[in-house]
Amino acid sequence: MPRPILATIHPQALRHNLEQVRKAAPDAKLMCMVKANAYGHGLEHAFAGLRAADGFAVLEIAEAQRLRAMDWRGPILLIEGVFEPRDLEMCSRLGLWHTVHCDRQIDWLAAHKTQVPHRVFLKMNSGMNRLGFTPERFRSAYARLNALTQVEEISFITHFSDADGPRGTAHQRAVFERATHDLPGERTLCNSAASLLEASDEHLRGDWVRPGIVLFGSSPDYPAHTAQQWNLQPAMTLSAQVIGTQQLQAGDTVGYGSTFTATGPMHIGVVSCGYADGYPRLCGTDTPVLVNGVRTRLLGRVSMDMLCVDLMPVPGAGLGSEVVLWGKSPRTGATLSIDEVAAAAGTVGYELMCAVAARVPMVNDEEATPRK
Ligand SMILES: *Cc1c(COP(=O)(O)O)cnc(C)c1O
């Protein structure tokens, strides 16, 4: 018997979430961001739900190879571009688009021998100060690229630091616009938050939007909006079981450090999920959990392989009861957003979905056999 813990990916939820982005950004092409193994969902599982994309963006050549192996013939963008000259050969061979964010990448391209000229996305640092050419250096980078026989088409990309927050995107948009307005080529600016909040405006949406987190059913601007308010569905359910129970009396404590003390008689469940499965240890008492599809709470500290939950709100719960740590209860259809669990740990849904441990089997509910 395998240990009762499972991550289930829901391709139908991915389809639904992709549709929400299409509605929010009408006429924009969708470049689905599936880096980090599709935000921890497994690229193959995610692809099952994202075939309607217009393109995909990945971080690594290996991820691009996996997409091509699934027969994806459409656009694939290497979001940080190449890491060494040899990668350019793979770009030629696999027909990959790549970001160009620094002079070194242009030098490599200039020295690259290829029959197939490349499409590149010239990246501007419009204020985030991560990757990209500053506006002052952008046009000379463009001129250099434009003179290369290795380059067929140049598009423009920038990334927002505050699309989900009060600072917003206007300052970066202004910088980008000033430096690119007279250059020919497609543009891409919007991540998930900007796609939902701003891309209904055709002047703001660009040619391509680059949704990531929203596809996976997490709200890009939580807690300002919840996933439910954005009409998103969780693409992953992390589930486990009650494998032990205890009956407590007033004064009894739970777990390492005795951080929870019962104030009266109570029935608790011990669940087959711990921080070694990727459930955050920083989640404390009162973090929401679903047992048999009913919302209850975590008690005490999360340990390596187990955590404890309050069974008092769940009549009839006991050994073998289904526990959903985040996602959707197959039993009642109730959902628990990963955003709520992440908030309890002082982090964001992104980090939790990317951190599901390798020891947790992952399945896709439209496909019978488990696959990593
Ligand atoms: C990851 C990433 C995105 C997607 O961000 P979300 O917040 O997940 O939508 C968009 N653009 C770039 C350059 C990225 O690296």
The string of pLDDT tens digits covering residues 30-53 is 999 999 999 999 999 999 999 999
Q: Which of 29, 35, 275, 372 is catalytic?
A: 35
11 lines ligand 1 (CB under 6 A): no
The pLDDT score that the predictor gives to residue 102 is 98
Pocket test for ligand 1, best of 33, 188, 192, 197 (most atoms within 8 A of CB): 33
Asked if residue 90 has pLDDT above 90, the reply is: yes
First-to-last alpha carbon distance for the chain, in angstroms, is 18
pLDDT digits 0-9 by tens, 185-234? 999 999 999 999 999 999 999 999 999 999 999 999 999 999 999 999 99
d(CA 283, CA 66): 34
Asked if residue 372 has pLDDT above 50, the reply is: no
pLDDT grade for 368, boundaries at 50, 70 and 90: low
The pLDDT score that the predictor gives to residue 316 is 96
The mean pLDDT value for 344-363 works out to 98
Gap from CA of 259 to ligand 1 centroid (Å): 38
Gap from CA of 212 to ligand 1 centroid (Å): 6
Q: Which of 29, 113, 123, 256 is catalytic?
A: 256
Quick one: tokens of 360?
């947790």
29 part of the active site = no
Gap from CA of 190 to ligand 1 centroid (Å): 8
132 lines ligand 1 (CB under 6 A): no
The pLDDT score that the predictor gives to residue 138 is 98
Report the chain's mean pLDDT, rounded to a whole number. Answer: 97
Asked if residue 292 has pLDDT above 60, the reply is: yes
pLDDT grade for 367, boundaries at 50, 70 and 90: confident
pLDDT grade for 254, boundaries at 50, 70 and 90: very high
pLDDT digits 0-9 by tens, 92-133? 999 999 999 999 999 999 999 999 999 999 999 999 999 999
Gap from CA of 36 to ligand 1 centroid (Å): 11
Pocket test for ligand 1, best of 79, 156, 339 (most atoms within 8 A of CB): 79
The mean pLDDT value for 264-278 works out to 98
98 lines ligand 1 (CB under 6 A): no
Q: Which of 272, 277, 246, 274 is nearest to 260 (CA)?
A: 246
35 part of the active site = yes
Handedness of CA 210, 349, 304, 323 (dihedral sign): negative
pLDDT digits 0-9 by tens, 55-75? 999 999 999 999 999 999 999
The pLDDT score that the predictor gives to residue 369 is 55
pLDDT grade for 29, boundaries at 50, 70 and 90: very high
Gap from CA of 295 to ligand 1 centroid (Å): 32
Asked if residue 370 has pLDDT above 80, the reply is: no
Which of 170-174, 310-314, 365-369 is the least confident region?
365-369
d(CA 53, CA 55): 5
Quote the pTM value. 0.96
The mean pLDDT value for 244-272 works out to 98
d(CA 238, CA 10): 11
126 lines ligand 1 (CB under 6 A): no
Q: Which of 81, 50, 76, 52 is nearest to 64 (CA)?
A: 76
Q: Alpha helix (H) ranges present in 51-131?
A: 61-69, 86-94, 103-111
d(CA 197, CA 216): 17
Q: Which of 305, 302, 291, 372 is nearest to 344 (CA)?
A: 302
Count of CB atoms situated within 10 Å of the CB of 182: 6
Quick one: tokens of 356?
């599901």
DSSP 145-179: HHT-TTEEEEEEEE--S-TTSTT-SHHHHHHHHHH
101 lines ligand 1 (CB under 6 A): no
Residue 49 backbone dihedrals phi, psi, to 5 degrees: -100, -5
Asked if residue 81 has pLDDT above 70, the reply is: yes
